[in-house]
Amino acid sequence: MNVVSAQEWEAARAALLVREKAHTRARDALAAERRRMPWLLVEKDYAFDGPSGRVSLLELFEGRRQLVVYRAFFEPGVHGWPDHACTGCSLMADQVADVVHLHARDTTFAYASRAPQPDIARLKARMGWTMPWFTLTDDFDADFGVDEWHGTNVFLRDGDRVFRTYFVNARGDEALGSTWSYLDLTPLGRQEDWEDSPEGVVQTPAYAWWNWHDAY
């Protein structure tokens, strides 16, 4: 153990802080690059089962502009079934911020798994998870790189047209959970006026859009 005086510790911490701040700026720059990624038109119709029946990919947006879908493994044959979802996917679910903050930025968040809706409803109630969670019914998982492994897909809606704009998995998923982490994956970003975004993205001052989760 290298125990030092408070003064020496502050100096060591300040030196590392310089690297940490540079790392944060580099992260912002990557998010800016993602906002300039090309879009991929989704040409197939996809269907999901939800608490109120069958819905399309377009309907998953709930009228909002952006959609983030995390593919969680909860189905027969996956460790933990039927009492639990996959351990890693469950740990991820424990990190997900209240989705109302994403809604405030015109962004919808959802989980998707192969398990039927009654199993998903039971799992959510027991584990205390509240995010929308849909059942996959078709090739969505194979087509969007999440048939073998968890992953997060980002979509943008332009009228009735849907575009895939980004995808992360592996340790890319590990960094997710906060409202900001999800918005940083999206083509519109946090929509705050300090961001380097494509021309035409409507932005508001940083922090000004935040509210209490029961007050939006």
Partner 1 sequence: MTEPRIDDRATWPAERDALLVREKAHTRAGGGIAAARRRLPMVEIDPAAAVVGPPGRGLEAMAPRHGLIARTDGRPTAQWSRLASGVGA
Q: How far apart are CA 84 and CA 89, in angstroms?
A: 10
Q: How far apart are CA 147 and CA 100, in angstroms?
A: 28
150 counts as binding partner 1 under rule CB under 8 A: no
Q: Which residues pair with 156 in a beta bridge?
A: 66, 163
Q: Are 132 and 109 in contact (CB under 8 A)?
A: yes
- Residue from 38, 53, 63, 128 that binds partner 1 (CB under 8 A)? 38
- Residue from 132, 151, 187, 189 that binds partner 1 (CB under 8 A)? 187
91 counts as binding partner 1 under rule CB under 8 A: no
Three-state SS at 60 = helix
Stretch that binds partner 1, among 36-44, 83-91, 115-123, 129-137 (CB under 8 A): 36-44
- Residue from 53, 200, 214, 215 that binds partner 1 (CB under 8 A)? 200
Q: Is the Cβ of residue 6 or residue 77 nearer to partner 1 in the bound state? A: 6
Q: Are 216 and 98 in contact (CB under 8 A)?
A: no
Listing DSSP states for 136-204 in one string gives E-STHHHHTT-SSS-EEEEEEEETTEEEEEEEEETHHHHT--SHHHHHTTSSSTT-BTTS---TT---B
Give the binding-site size for partner 1 (rule: CB under 8 A).
45
**What binding mask, one character per residue, do residues 8-27 give for partner 1 by CB under 8 A, x or -?**
xx--xx--x--xx--x--xx
The strand pair at 133-136 and 107-113 is best described as parallel
- Residue from 77, 118, 171, 214 that binds partner 1 (CB under 8 A)? 171
Residues that bind partner 1 (CB under 8 A): 1-6, 8-9, 12-13, 16, 19-20, 23, 26-28, 30, 33-34, 36-41, 163-164, 166-168, 171-172, 175, 187-188, 192, 194-195, 198-201, 206-207
